[in-house]
Amino acid sequence: MNKKFDVALGVEKKPKPIVLVLGIQLLAFVVSFFLTSIREYGGFGYFEHELLVQDVIAQSIGAVFVFPLLHVAIASFCKSKRNKVSRRNIFLGWAVAVFGLQMFGVAQLVVSQ
């Protein structure tokens, strides 16, 4: 019996497909990359300014990948959170949160202009 059940609903918990989680992570990274480059540097020639590209990549990776890894590490202290369902949900939640915050930033840029 390696299956997880939701006690309240009596329903089996299934992990989100890894392709869905990774796809949303990638989408959040791309959106974060472009919006950070526009917001912080006003847009630039990506092939002409390698150091700026590295800086924007570092900022985007921090939001999309490092924070969820810290969250998973902290959540792993609880025995009930040491499974792939909760880990995928954490990564999915952070990706959706980053994407939503970036879209909020776009709305602010559009309104302010």
pLDDT digits (tens, 9 = 90+) for 79-112: 777 788 888 888 999 999 988 988 888 788 778 7
Total structural domains within the chain: 1
Residue 8 included in any domain:
no
Instruction: Give domain status of residue 94, yes or no.
Output: yes
pLDDT score at 18: 86
For residue 106, with 0-12 CB atoms within 10 Å meaning exposed, 13-18 middle and 19 or more buried, which class applies? middle
**What dihedral do alpha carbons 65, 51, 41, 109 form, nearest 10°?**
-20
pTM: 0.74
pLDDT, residue 62, reads 85
Flag whether 3 is in a domain. no
Q: Is residue 11 part of a domain?
A: no
The Cα 91–Cα 88 span in angstroms is 5
- Which tokens sit at 56? 């924007």
Q: Which domain holds residue 58?
A: 18-112
- If you average pLDDT over every residue of the chain, what do you get? 82
